[in-house]
Structure 1
């Protein structure tokens, strides 16, 4: 059996997620923290696309690769399941921490078949939010299976917690919200408006050729349809009608599964007042550079970039949708408008640009909120406490 006497050895945990980008962006700092607490850690991802895992954020990390495809693929999925079974037959853990749909499904089944440790299922987002009919029911059934095979299900927001309960995906006694939500909290020492970050922002402004007095609207995230990037051009055109010297900076990788429209891509690449940046590992200079953070996503599990902007004392404008509503306190740390409302989003951005004193109030409240509710060290302590309960049960 997996959980024999653990008193004479370190506790062991395996983290599993589908995409290396997820690992690179959503687990920073957690592994060094857990190792400092005596945990032995292994990591499994489904690809080698991202290999930049800085030692200061991940320690000495060499992920195991078990190929996985996000979309259903019976042959590839069965092959992946066989590899997971072989892996968990060779390696024993106290806790297996899974997230993202395909990785969670394959790993939780393999753990059960090999009588390995206890599964923690981190529920990051409802991938079938915009689906209906049979397709939605299939995805619901998959989530119910993963939840059944898990010891604990951790939704990363209160809204997801309510959804999982009301949709009968998971029994209430298995659900555990860590802190006020999010999966990894915010490193408020890294994301703060230090002189170094301000200087890096000014250097970036010069590098990008943005005039010293020009207001900057920033988007950070995957450049894809569900993130609302096709609405960035019409929103920003209305902003430029009032502020002709304003610039738009779009930072993030393209998502081949849900590409932005060709018209949007042309706008990003051809307009002289737009700067299109790819994936950015160090985002602090971009937040320091910007005047307002604009995030027109249609739905989120939890909008982590909104916490980053808040930590950097930047007010956000976003849609009032699940996941975003908890990352931004409307009227406190930013402004939320109706989903897809281009005019209201543009008006909110312009309102913040036109009133620096009001904008500064949002910025200060945003910083205080992330310090009090989302400080990373508190989230990590709660994660470890949960895992210890499972490892020693």
Structure 2
């Protein structure tokens, strides 16, 4: 059986970004998962029934540690002689593609699921640009997980166009549309969670799921929500909405280290009883099930799983006009699209979805779009077919 090496910087990415895809591919290849954090890597490998190899990698710019990681990866690849190495996440891409190039691995594939460098500038931006260009240079094939991301890569001249391809209609893994199904959340469970969170049945709930950081648009979201609650010039009586019953539910960890929220936003989240935070939750389905609209005002994405998950749970979405988001959401069909970093336009969209006719139309189209194009089986089989093509070209 041909050997396939899948690499991410940390095991959490193997688990959350790829998950059952590892088990699926292991049925067609002799698969080894590679990441840092050895004990956690062991757990993830056991979970999906695959082999593993530990290479310590960091998520920061650490030249000495990175060279050690390349050397260890190179020795492993020379020993194993795999037909394919496939990397995800920036540092794993740099280490894996360079080591794969030096070891002579015939197929060196790198998936791009976002470009953090887009929100940087100055010397750091130049360094990150070079790292991205160098990673793609060492790869034989580069797979942006959205068409918008592909265009950004072309615009930045990071890669020869002949190396670039989007698998299927986008996404690195698709989603389990059977798991993300509203019917699995009972009414009793929904009511219980509402009571725990202090949300009544008459409340209208906007939900955000993800890291609570600046790049996710949380500053703009909190500002728009507060202005919405304080509106005096907009009447919702015809739609049966009472502004005092509007809530914002933030599901995800607060990360103030690398990309902090403004002090004003933090203060508002802490003091505003109508903004409810839960921290990280492993299963977000119950939170989607009690909500009315997803708001996802991110500045940059690859192909956001949250938007796929919400759609599969029959939830309309307000998203920003960025790659990935504007490929999943069709404005006016299964959600609304607004400019990034614009709280005024975000506020207008949040007001707009109070219209029950519009909201019901968006809701009725949400799951259909996801099931038709982004079921995980569709994405997995498209990638498996791509592997087959790559191997046949290298015979």
Answer yes or no: same fold by TM over 0.5.
yes
Q: Find the aligned partners of 2:206 and 2:333 in 1 and give their Cα distance.
A: 19
What's 1:131 paired with? 120
Moved more, 207-216 or 63-72: 63-72
Report deviation, 1:311.
0.8
SS of equivalent to 1:277: strand
Contact residue 218 and residue 290 of structure 1 kept, 8 A: yes
The residue number in structure 2 matching 1:42 is: 32
State whether structure 2 residue 295 is matched by structure 1 residue 266: no
Cα–Cα, structure 1 residues 23 and 203, in superposed 2: closer, same or farther, change >3 Å? Answer: farther
Hey, what does 1:31 align to over in structure 2?
22
C-alpha separation between the residues in 1 aligned to 2:210 and 2:51?
Answer: 25
Q: 1:127 to 1:187 in 2, by over 3 A?
A: same
What is the TM-score when the length of structure 2 is the normalising length?
0.88
Is residue 70–residue 99 contact of structure 2 (8 Å, CA) maintained in 1?
yes
Task: After TM superposition, give the deviation of residue 302 of structure 1 in Å.
Answer: 1.7
Question: 2:129 and 2:253 mapped to 1: Cα distance?
Answer: 28
Report if aligned partners of 1:252, 1:280 keep a CA contact under 8 Å in 2: yes
Preserved CA contact (<8 Å) 1:24 1:50: no
Secondary structure of the residue that 2:118 maps to in structure 1? coil
Aligned residues: 381
Question: Alpha-carbon deviations, 1:216-246, whole Å to 9, x = none?
Answer: 1111111111111122221111232351122
In angstroms, what is the RMSD of aligned CA positions? 2.4
2:374 is aligned to 374
Matched position secondary structure for 1:244: helix
CA distance in 2, matches of 1:49, 1:273: 40
The unaligned stretches of length 5 or more in structure 2 are 232-242
Separation (CA, whole Å) in 2 of partners of 1:214 and 1:340? 27
Q: Do structure 1's residue 116 and structure 2's residue 105 form an aligned pair? A: yes
1:305 shift after superposition: 0.8
Confirm whether residue 347 of structure 1 aligns to residue 344 of structure 2.
no
Distance in 1 (CA, whole Å) between partners of 2:326 and 2:305 is 12
User: Structure 1 residues 85 and 387 mapped into 2: Cα distance closer, same or farther (>3 Å)?
Assistant: same
SS at match of 2:119: coil
Summarize the Cα distance change of 1:52–1:76 in structure 2 as closer, same or farther, 3 Å threshold: closer
Q: Distance in 1 between matches of 2:350 and 2:288?
A: 15
CA contact (8 A) 1:269 1:276 kept: no
TM-score w.r.t. length of structure 1: 0.89
Segments of 4+ moved more than 6 angstroms? 48-56
C-alpha change, 1:165 and 1:343, in structure 2 (3 Å) is closer
Q: CA deviation at 1:27?
A: 1.0
Stretches of structure 1 lacking an aligned partner (at least 5 in a row): 1-9
2:201 to 204, 208, 212: 212
- 1:199 to partner: Cα distance: 4.7
- 2:40 and 2:199 mapped to 1: Cα distance? 29
- The equivalent residue for 1:309 is 310
Task: Provide the residue aligned with 1:228 in structure 2.
Answer: 217
Alignment check: 8 A CA contact 1:24 1:52 kept: no
